[in-house]
C-alpha cells in the first residue's frame, strides 16, 4: 500500500521570521528565491506524494532557524533547482549572482550521464567535499537537505532506503559532529538508525525502555526538584531543558560497554543554562551540595573543551530514587554552539569568522584549526576544472576547518571506492589532538603515529623524519600517539620514507605522500 503524507508547505512568512525585519534587501532576496524555487519545482512530487517544494521550503526553514544569512537561506531554497528542474546554472547566475550559484552548484550532484551507480555517488561526494573546502556553507546546506531527506525516509522505496540511511549515519552525522552541530548530528542519527540497522535499532530500543527512557514522569519530578533547589540557593537567571538520549548514541555506547546496560547512566540529562561562566560553577556547587555525584563522572569541558569545541560541565548524580541523572551546565553561548557549532558562527549577526574578537565565541574553535584562520591563505584544494562551469571567487571569509581541506585533497585519489572507505575510516575512528612544542594543535585519527604527525605539519617534514620525541622522550616512529601528547619531530636531509612507514601510518594524507616518494625513488633507481 502506498503511504502518503500530507505535509504543509512552509510559508514564506515563516521563513522570513528568522530574517531581521530591518534588512529589506535580505528579505527581498529570500522572497525571490522562494518564489523562483516554487515555480521551478511546480508539478514535481516527493516519494511521499507531497509537492517537491515541501522539501525545499523545509531546507530553507532549517537554515533560517539557525539564523544563517539571507544568501545561505536563498541558496538552500534553490539547492535542487539545477539538479532536478529545467533551471540551468546560467539562470541562477543571472538571477542570483555568483555567490549563490557557487553554493547551489556545490550541493548539486553530478549528472547521470557522466557517471553511473556507485561511481556517480562517490564522485558526487568528492565534489561536495571540494566545494565545502572552499566554503563551509555548502556542507551546512547539504546537512539540512539531508536532514529533511532522513526524516522522510519511510516514504523512500525500500531498495534505496537502507543505502541513504547508512550513508547518513556513516558520513553526514559524523560530519555534523565534527562541525560541532550536536542537534543536527542527533537528529540525523535518530532519523536514519531504524532504516539503516533495523535489528540493532530494536535491540537498542528494548534497552532504552528497560532503563526507563520512556518514564518522563520520573524525569519531570527530578527536573522540578533541581529547579527548586537552584532557586532556594539564590541562583536567579537560569533556564533548564531536558535531553533524552538518542537511540543511535545509546546503541554505540552499548557496543562500547559490551551491552552492559548498568553502565548507562545518561538516558536522561538535564541542562542548566546560565548567563556567565562563573554561574556554571555556582550551579555545580549547588548540585553537588544537594545530591551525591557519581565518582569519575564530573567533566569540566569548559576549562578543557572537547576536540570539536564542545563546552559544558557534566556531572552525574544519584537522584535518590535509585536512578541517575546527568546534569549539563553551560552558558547560553555554549548552548548555541553545542547545538549548531560552526553554523552558530556564520549567522547574520556575526558576519565573518575572521572578525571574531578573541574571547568571543569563536576563540574555542580557532585553537583547534590553527592554520585555517587566515582568510587570505590560499585554499590548497584543487577543484577539478570541468566540474565548475563558472569561475568562482573563493569565499574564503567563511573559513574552512583544516580537516575538510584534507578530505578534499583525499578526494582526488583515483579510485572512488577507495575514497569512500577512506572518509569512513577517517570519521569512524575518533580523533586525537596532539600538540607541537609551540602549542599548535594537530588533529589526527586514533592510532596515528609521529609519521602522521610529521606529514600533517608539512610534507617536507614528513619526508625527512629521522626521529621523534613524545613528551620529551625519544620514541620509535610507529609509536601510537595519545590525546594531548606533545610531539617534536627530528629531521635529517638523508632520511627517506620506507615501505615500513606505510604500515605505521593512519592518515590517508601521509599514505599518499609516502607512496609518491617510494614511486619516485623507484623510477629514479630504474633510470
Q: Which residues bind Mn ion (CB under 5 A)?
A: 80, 145
Cβ atoms of residues 272 and 328 within 8 Å: yes
DSSP letters, 110-145, are PPTTT--HHHHHHHHHHHHHHHHHH-THHHHHHHHH
Going by C-alpha positions, the residue among 72, 25, 13, 30 that lies closest to residue 343 is 72
CB of 46 to Mn ion, least distance (A): 10
CB of 79 to Mn ion, least distance (A): 6
CB of 225 to Mn ion, least distance (A): 45
**Which cell numbers in the block locate residue 370?**
590553527
Residue 354, CA distances (Å) to 365, 374, 507 in order: 12, 7, 29
Q: What does the alpha-carbon distance between residue 31 and residue 27 come to, in Å, rounded to a whole number?
A: 6
Going by C-alpha positions, the residue among 296, 303, 316, 255 that lies closest to residue 277 is 303
Q: Would you say 18 or 62 has its CB closer to Mn ion?
A: 62
Measured from each CB, the residue nearest to Mn ion is 145
Catalytic residue among 14, 23, 65, 84: 84
Q: What does the alpha-carbon distance between residue 59 and residue 249 come to, in Å, rounded to a whole number?
A: 25
Q: At how many degrees (to 10) do helices 89-96 and 98-107 cross?
A: 140
CB of 145 to Mn ion, least distance (A): 4
Q: At how many degrees (to 10) do helices 89-96 and 24-40 cross?
A: 160
Q: What does the alpha-carbon distance between residue 191 and residue 467 come to, in Å, rounded to a whole number?
A: 47
CB of 80 to Mn ion, least distance (A): 4
Q: Would you say 144 or 505 has its CB closer to Mn ion?
A: 144
Q: What does the alpha-carbon distance between residue 445 and residue 163 come to, in Å, rounded to a whole number?
A: 25
Residue 276 annotated in active site: no
Q: At how many degrees (to 10) do helices 137-151 and 182-196 cross?
A: 40
**Which cell numbers in the block locate residue 84?**
532536478
Cβ atoms of residues 477 and 504 within 8 Å: yes
CB of 187 to Mn ion, least distance (A): 16
Would you put residue 202 in left (φ > 0), alpha (ψ -120 to 50) or beta? Answer: alpha
**Which cell numbers in the block locate residue 162?**
537502507
CB of 149 to Mn ion, least distance (A): 6
Q: Would you say 141 or 454 has its CB closer to Mn ion?
A: 141
Catalytic residue among 83, 98, 190, 333: 83
Going by C-alpha positions, the residue among 328, 345, 385, 397 that lies closest to residue 140 is 345
Cβ atoms of residues 82 and 108 within 8 Å: yes
CB of 142 to Mn ion, least distance (A): 9
Q: Where are the alpha helices (DSSP H) in 197-215?
A: 198-210
Q: Would you say 62 or 207 has its CB closer to Mn ion?
A: 62
Q: Is 213 helix (H, G, I), strand (E, B) or coil?
A: coil
Q: Would you say 164 or 441 has its CB closer to Mn ion?
A: 164
Going by C-alpha positions, the residue among 419, 435, 438, 415 that lies closest to residue 427 is 419
Q: Would you say 82 or 329 has its CB closer to Mn ion?
A: 82
Q: Would you say 10 or 372 has its CB closer to Mn ion?
A: 10
Residue 255 annotated in active site: no
Tabulate helix, strand, coil % of the chain (nearest 5): 55, 10, 35
Q: Would you say 41 or 431 has its CB closer to Mn ion?
A: 41
CB of 122 to Mn ion, least distance (A): 19
Q: Would you say 40 or 365 has its CB closer to Mn ion?
A: 40
Would you please indicate which residues are annotated as catalytic (active-site) residues?
83-84
Amino acid at each position: 500500500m502506498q503511504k502518503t503524507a500530507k505535509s504543509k508547505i512552509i510559508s514564506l512568512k515563516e521563513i522570513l521570521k528568522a530574517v531581521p525585519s530591518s534588512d529589506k534587501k535580505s528579505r527581498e532576496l529570500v522572497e525571490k528565491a522562494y518564489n523562483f524555487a516554487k515555480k521551478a519545482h511546480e508539478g514535481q512530487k516527493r516519494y511521499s506524494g507531497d509537492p517537491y517544494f515541501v522539501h525545499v521550503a523545509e531546507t530553507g526553514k532549517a537554515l533560517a532557524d539557525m539564523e544563517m544569512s539571507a544568501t545561505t537561506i536563498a541558496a538552500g531554497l534553490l539547492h535542487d533547482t539545477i539538479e532536478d528542474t529545467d533551471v540551468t546554472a546560467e539562470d541562477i547566475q543571472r538571477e542570483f549572482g555568483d555567490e549563490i550559484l557557487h553554493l547551489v552548484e556545490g550541493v548539486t550532484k553530478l549528472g547521470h550521464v557522466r557517471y553511473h551507480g556507485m561511481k556517480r555517488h562517490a564522485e558526487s561526494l568528492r565534489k561536495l567535499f571540494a566545494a565545502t573546502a572552499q566554503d563551509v556553507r555548502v556542507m551546512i546546506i547539504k546537512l539540512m537537505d539531508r536532514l529533511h531527506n532522513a526524516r522522510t525516509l519511510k516514504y523512500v522505496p525500500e531498495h534505496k532506503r537502507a543505502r541513504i540511511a547508512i550513508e547518513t549515519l556513516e558520513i553526514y552525522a559524523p560530519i555534523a559532529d565534527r562541525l560541532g552541530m550536536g542537534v543536527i548530528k542527533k537528529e540525523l542519527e535518530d532519523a536514519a538508525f531504524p532504516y539503516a540497522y533495523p535489528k540493532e535499532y530494536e535491540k537498542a530500543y528494548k534497552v532504552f525502555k528497560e532503563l526507563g527512557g520512556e518514564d518522563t514522569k520520573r524525569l519531570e519530578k527530578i527536573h522540578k526538584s533541581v529547579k527548586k533547589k537552584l532557586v532556594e540557593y539564590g541562583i536567579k537567571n537560569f533556564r533548564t531543558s531536558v535531553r533524552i538520549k538518542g537511540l543511535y548514541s545509546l546503541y554505540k555506547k552499548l557496543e562500547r560497554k559490551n551491552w552492559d546496560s548498568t553502565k548507562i547512566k545518561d538516558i536522561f540529562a538535564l541542562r542548566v543554562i546560565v548567563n556567565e561562566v562563573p554561574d556554571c560553577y555556582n550551579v555545580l556547587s549547588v548540585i553537588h551540595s544537594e545530591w551525591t555525584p557519581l565518582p569519575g563522572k564530573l567533566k569540566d569541558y569548559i576549562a578543557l573543551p572537547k576536540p570539536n569545541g564542545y563546552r559544558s560541565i557534566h556531572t552525574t548524580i544519584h537522584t535518590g530514587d535509585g536512578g541517575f541523572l546527568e546534569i549539563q551546565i553551560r552558558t547560553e553561548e555554549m548552548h548555541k554552539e553545542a547545538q549548531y557549532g560552526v553554523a552558530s558562527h556564520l549567522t547574520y549577526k556575526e558576519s565573518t569568522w575572521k572578525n571574531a574578537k578573541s574571547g568571543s565565541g569563536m576563540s574555542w574553535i580557532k585553537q583547534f584549526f590553527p592554520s585555517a584562520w587566515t582568510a587570505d591563505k590560499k585554499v590548497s584544494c584543487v577543484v577539478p576544472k570541468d566540474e565548475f562551469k563558472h569561475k568562482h571567487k573563493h569565499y574564503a571569509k567563511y573559513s574552512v576547518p583544516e580537516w575538510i581541506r584534507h578530505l578534499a585533497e583525499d578526494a582526488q585519489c583515483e579510485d572512488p571506492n577507495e575514497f569512500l572507505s577512506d572518509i569512513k575510516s577517517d570519521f569512524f575512528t575518533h580523533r586525537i589532538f596532539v600538540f607541537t612544542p609551540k602549542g599548535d594543535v594537530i588533529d589526527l585519527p586514533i592510532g596515528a603515529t609521529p609519521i602522521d604527525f610529521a606529514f600533517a605539519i608539512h610534507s617536507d617534514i614528513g619526508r625527512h623524519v629521522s626521529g621523534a620525541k613524545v613528551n620529551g622522550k625519544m620514541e620509535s616512529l610507529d609509536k601510537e600517539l595519545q590525546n594531548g601528547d606533545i610531539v617534536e619531530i627530528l629531521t635529517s636531509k638523508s632520511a627517506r620514507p620506507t615501505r615500513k612507514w606505510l604500515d605505521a601510518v593512519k592518515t590517508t594524507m601521509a599514505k599518499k605522500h609516502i607512496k609518491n616518494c617510494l614511486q619516485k625513488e623507484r623510477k629514479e633507481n630504474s633510470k
